[in-house]
Chain A
């Protein structure tokens, strides 16, 4: 095997080991690279900033455990921001994995979820609604008929927050934290468009290119993956929100550099071999 072939055929075990080290090191010893605020994150933040005390916000948690690293920080920040504005949260999910994430995110922000004295007054966890896009449509039309009870089995009619919240018309904003189907697209079709409610979304980085066409008409702002979550955390510092994503973003930076390094390395071997043959 020639030198140029070797450049193109680095053993995958070496690649895996280097990847592990490059990603793990900044997590142990963060670099603290500055994180610039992107326009999509700024738009997300500005939309939430327009909320007034007492406004009711629907937050839809439509993701699985696989994407927790990206979407859980988005979830916590969104909850913290909405509550900091004095608005109220109706949390729901159309993915079966997510009721626990709602519970955990609220607990991380407020210390307690179901047992919090403001449960049912300032926020509520409606849990999972089966039925995908149809469930979203039904939820938008009549929340009480779709979810008679909350995630913990309490009738929602008895909770003060839900007394005046009957359908999607009663929401001032919808925040979709989604990663697939059903997700933000279905919420655009079933909630945002029919009821003309502002919608902002938090998605994984791989989903971000698909969201762009909806911005800014249907979707008012986007948190794009871990980078979006980290930028949002920085914007929330003025509310005393303490972020945790500086080190993971360093890891992501070095990870991206590593991919570029290997791609360049492979191409050097490829071009030199091709050039050598031509000669």
Chain B
């Protein structure tokens, strides 16, 4: 394959597929039915690729962690834990659960009694760190920090039942903070992100942005 084809073929495919999806959004008439069907099939193809990406990801993770183990790199025992968990659950799902994974009660049991409590526990630990971090970081050093602190206290109280017990007007105040200043700021961020995404999409479609093709593209 010549260098020109290697360079421009992916850009051409990106452009055609991108225009197909955009066209499919705007043109939905009986005359464009076959075109809409073709786009639909292309989207299902993406899902097939995404499913295979899981296999590729598993292979890559295995390679990296086996290398950590064989070379006895720092924290190699974590790699061992990962491989045992990964392949243990894979064997459980493929062999003992007849390839049904979470659809099989036995696999679902292991999933629910090992992975779910672990993940929930890690998240729960945040509560302790949030209390500690809030205590150390929230100081009325500047006017802005004071405004932030007062807002945080009002919202924290207002979003919990105790707030209404302490002061019945706290609900509307919290609601106003969330609906007016917060929404205004969030709306600005969302519009900014949308404009950024739009400009990046145009750059990708027109071949100006090639980072997704890998290094040297």
A44 to chain B, nearest CB (A): 15
A130 to B46, CA, bound (A): 9
**Contact B162 A145, beta carbon cutoff 8 Å:** no
**Contact A213 B136, beta carbon cutoff 8 Å:** no
Residues 113-141 of B, flagged 1 when their CB comes within 8 A of A and 0 if not, give 00111111011100110111011101111
**Contact A39 B190, beta carbon cutoff 8 Å:** no
B145 to chain A, nearest CB (A): 10
* Closest A residue, CB atoms, query B179: A212
Interface residues on B, range: 35 or more
**Contact A256 B134, beta carbon cutoff 8 Å:** no
Contact of A131 among B47, B149, B152 (CB under 8 A): B47
Query: B-side binding surface: helix, strand, loop or mixed?
Result: helix
A279 to chain B, nearest CB (A): 18
**Contact B161 A255, beta carbon cutoff 8 Å:** no
What A residues does B183 contact at CB under 8 A? Answer: 212-213
**Contact A134 B162, beta carbon cutoff 8 Å:** no
Knowing A135-B50, A208-B178 touch, does A255 contact B134 (C-beta < 8 A)?
A: no
What B residues does A12 contact at CB under 8 A? Answer: 132
A213 to B194, CA, bound (A): 13
Contact of A194 among B25, B117, B118, B149 (CB under 8 A): B25
What B residues does A131 contact at CB under 8 A? Answer: 46-47, 50-51
* Closest B residue, CB atoms, query A266: B135
Residue A110, interface by CB 8 Å: no
Contact of A256 among B139, B162, B175 (CB under 8 A): B162
What B residues does A33 contact at CB under 8 A? Answer: 161-162, 165
What B residues does A68 contact at CB under 8 A? Answer: 116, 120
Knowing A19-B131, A263-B153 touch, does A127 contact B171 (C-beta < 8 A)?
A: no
Residue A257, interface by CB 8 Å: yes
Residue A138, interface by CB 8 Å: yes
* Closest B residue, CB atoms, query A16: B128
**Contact A39 B156, beta carbon cutoff 8 Å:** no
Residue B102, interface by CB 8 Å: yes
Residue B157, interface by CB 8 Å: yes
* Closest B residue, CB atoms, query A204: B123
A99 to chain B, nearest CB (A): 5
Residue B201, interface by CB 8 Å: no
A135 to B53, CA, bound (A): 14
A103 to B47, CA, bound (A): 23
Residue A47, interface by CB 8 Å: no
A209 to B159, CA, bound (A): 12
What B residues does A10 contact at CB under 8 A? Answer: 135
What B residues does A16 contact at CB under 8 A? Answer: 128, 131-132
**Contact B139 A267, beta carbon cutoff 8 Å:** yes
Known: A69-B124, A131-B46. 6 other contacts (CB 8 A): A10-B135, A19-B128, A142-B44, A145-B41, A227-B161, A263-B152
